[in-house]
Amino acid sequence: MNCKACQTAFPDLLLDPAAPANAAARAHLAACAGCAQQLRALEATVALLDTWQAPEVSPYFDQKLAVRLREQQAAPAPGWFERLRTRLLLNTGRQFRPALAGAMALVLIAGGGSFGISTFSHPHTAQVAPMSAAVNDLQILDNNEQALQQVDQLLQENAPADDTGTTPQS
């Protein structure tokens, strides 16, 4: 038995050193100081792990989780922009990134366009709009800022992947 095969048998040796299946590994350990030292180090590590106590879960964990679930259930459904933003933030599939970048560019264009239209038509729609023009403009600005951040994030995340040679485009 060589050193590599002996080290592969270390878990078995830790669980049951006297097992007949470990005879070859034991014979190697008796002749190889390096493997014997590695096994002693592993034994010390496992012994240390045995002394570790997992922390107790907070007694209020279940209640807090239930409250947060109820809050989320009672909350109004997120708008399409919020859903898209969440999907962008949590998405890890690289194959969707070009499509999402295109979608965000469309959001930027649409956001810029509606900003121009909303500022232009304020004198006529001021009585109809439920919120004040200033709040509306601030929200549009905020949405545009979020879209810009998302596109920046996409560009930053795509940049290192350029040299991997696995571009999604065919």
Q: Which residues bind Zn ion (CB under 5 A)?
A: 3, 32, 35
In terms of CB distance, is 24 or 109 closer to Zn ion?
Answer: 24
In terms of CB distance, is 6 or 107 closer to Zn ion?
Answer: 6
Q: How far is the CB of 34 from Zn ion (least distance, A)?
A: 5
In terms of CB distance, is 17 or 113 closer to Zn ion?
Answer: 17
Q: How far is the CB of 9 from Zn ion (least distance, A)?
A: 11
Q: How far is the CB of 19 from Zn ion (least distance, A)?
A: 19
In terms of CB distance, is 14 or 32 closer to Zn ion?
Answer: 32
Q: How far is the CB of 87 from Zn ion (least distance, A)?
A: 52
Which among 35, 30, 32, 44 has a CA at the least distance from the CA of 9?
Answer: 35
